[in-house]
């Protein structure tokens, strides 16, 4: 089960308590394979989209998405670049994105490597600096 629900009919309020997902759980059509990250705002999972026969990354918020996540989804969807993951779907508290194989960065990075990444980011910054992108 994805959520525990408690409702007060008189106040017409739903209180949603976030529960972590486990391998085999379903989130919409997606089957959770493994948790691949976590932070203060939620978790990231590797999942399988059986409709398109591909793995995806699902970013799940601890709460229902607010304006920040709506802006993030719109910004990501507006971009098309090899170094930026594609967004495939959005739900009330999750984003479904392209799954990219790799390993997380371990820090602190050596100065030369950090500068190399900074140059790559700066070269792509023009994609974000345009009206309506962020």
What does the DSSP assignment read for 86-114? Answer: PEEEE-SSEEEEE--------SSPPHHHH
Residue 115 belongs to some domain of the structure = no
Instruction: Calculate mean pLDDT across residues 39-58.
Output: 94
Phi, psi at residue 111, to the nearest 5°? -55, -45
pLDDT at 53: 97
Residue 130 belongs to some domain of the structure = no
Instruction: Calculate mean pLDDT across residues 26-55.
Output: 94
Residue 39 belongs to some domain of the structure = yes
Instruction: Calculate mean pLDDT across residues 70-98.
Output: 85
CATH number for position 19: 3.30.200.20
Show the beta-strand stretches assigned E in 11-70: 13-18, 26-27, 30-39, 42-49, 54-61
Residue-wise pLDDT for 2-30, tens only, equals 443 333 333 333 334 567 899 999 999 99
pTM (global) more than 0.75: no
Domain that holds residue 15: 3-105
Q: Domains in the chain: how many in total?
A: 1
Rg over CA atoms, the chain: 17
């Amino acid at each position: 089960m994805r959520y525990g629900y408690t409702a007060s009919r008189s106040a017409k309020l739903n209180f949603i308590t976030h529960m972590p997902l486990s391998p085999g759980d379903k989130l919409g059509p997606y089957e959770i394979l493994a948790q691949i990250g976590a932070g203060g705002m939620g978790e990231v999972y590797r999942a399988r989209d059986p409709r398109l026969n591909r793995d995806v990354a699902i970013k799940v918020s601890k709460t229902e998405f607010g304006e920040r996540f709506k802006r993030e989804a719109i910004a990501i969807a507006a971009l098309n670049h090899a170094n930026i993951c594609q967004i495939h779907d959005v739900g009330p508290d999750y984003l479904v994105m392209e799954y990219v194989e790799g390993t997380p960065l371990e820090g602190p990075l050596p100065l030369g490597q950090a500068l190399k990444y900074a140059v790559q980011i700066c070269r792509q910054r023009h994609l974000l600096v345009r009206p309506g992108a962020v």
